[in-house]
Amino acid sequence: MTKLFISTFTALLIFASCTQVEQEEMDMDYETQSIDQAVVVMHATEGNSVEGTVVFTQTDEGVRVEADISGLEAESMHGFHIHQYGDCRADDGTSAGGHFNPEDMEHGGPDDEMRHVGDLGNLQSDADGNATSDFVDSKLQLSGMTSILGRGVIIHAGEDDLESQPTGAAGSRLACGVVGVANPQ
């Protein structure tokens, strides 16, 4: 009985050691892993029907932003921002917090030198209420201290005027999504 106990205990120690080494190797791989693409699935806030996807892809010039959104008011402009928290639990999207602003700048447009990292400007919808956008943003990062991974993306009811502080007067939140690491497929 004692030999069986010692053998079982020894086997468990060896297994635990191997598992810990494998976990440490996986953790090191994750820490050094370069994220090339992230994705957001947009979900409508209560009472709205806006949905779609936003894909962020690392390029040599910055991060490419490709949005494909439906359910917007026809032929209208809608504020488009990365927000502080990747939290879409509130029915109205307010749990995502304010604009992502790690550099403590004033609100501005996507081409302004002084702006929040999360200021992406506006989405323009077509006659059917669909909006697509494809641009490269030099302030966005998928890694590092100002990474957008895990942050929220919000589409607003109104146009961002690119000036009003601190949000551009873009109005309520129509849709919310969280920036996640994309499947490399």
Strands (E), 60-124: 62-70, 77-83, 119-124
First to last CA, the chain: 51
Contact 52, 177 (CB under 8 A): no
Told to judge if 78 belongs to the known catalytic residues of this protein, a careful annotator would answer no
The Cα 73–Cα 94 span in angstroms is: 21
Active-site option among 29, 60, 99, 137? 99
Contact 100, 148 (CB under 8 A): yes
Query: Smallest Cα–Cα separation from 162: which of 130, 114, 127, 125?
Result: 114
- Condensed to tens digits (0 to 9), the pLDDT of residues 30-42 reads 455 679 999 999 9
Q: Is the pLDDT of residue 141 over 90?
A: yes
Contact 40, 19 (CB under 8 A): no
* Helix, coil or strand: residue 128: coil
The Cα 172–Cα 153 span in angstroms is: 13
pTM, 2 dp = 0.81
- Condensed to tens digits (0 to 9), the pLDDT of residues 53-111 reads 999 999 999 999 999 999 999 999 999 999 999 999 999 999 999 999 999 999 999 99
Residues 55, 48, 57: CA angle, nearest 5 degrees: 5
Of the pLDDT bands very low, low, confident and very high (cuts 50, 70, 90), residue 29 is very low
**pLDDT for the residue numbered 185:** 76
Told to judge if 151 belongs to the known catalytic residues of this protein, a careful annotator would answer no
Give DSSP secondary structure letters for 11-47.
HHHHHHHHHHHHHHHHHHHHHHPPP-EEEEEEEEPTT
Contact 179, 153 (CB under 8 A): yes
**pLDDT for the residue numbered 14:** 57
**pLDDT for the residue numbered 184:** 83
Neighbours of 46 (CB within 10 A): 9
Of 20 and 170, more confident: 170
Active-site option among 78, 115, 119, 137? 119
User: What CATH number is given for 37-181 in this structure?
Assistant: 2.60.40.200
**pLDDT for the residue numbered 17:** 55
Domain ranges within the chain, ordered by starting residue:
1-33, 37-181
Active-site option among 78, 151, 156, 160? 156
Told to judge if 83 belongs to the known catalytic residues of this protein, a careful annotator would answer yes
Told to judge if 43 belongs to the known catalytic residues of this protein, a careful annotator would answer no
Active-site option among 78, 115, 151, 173? 173
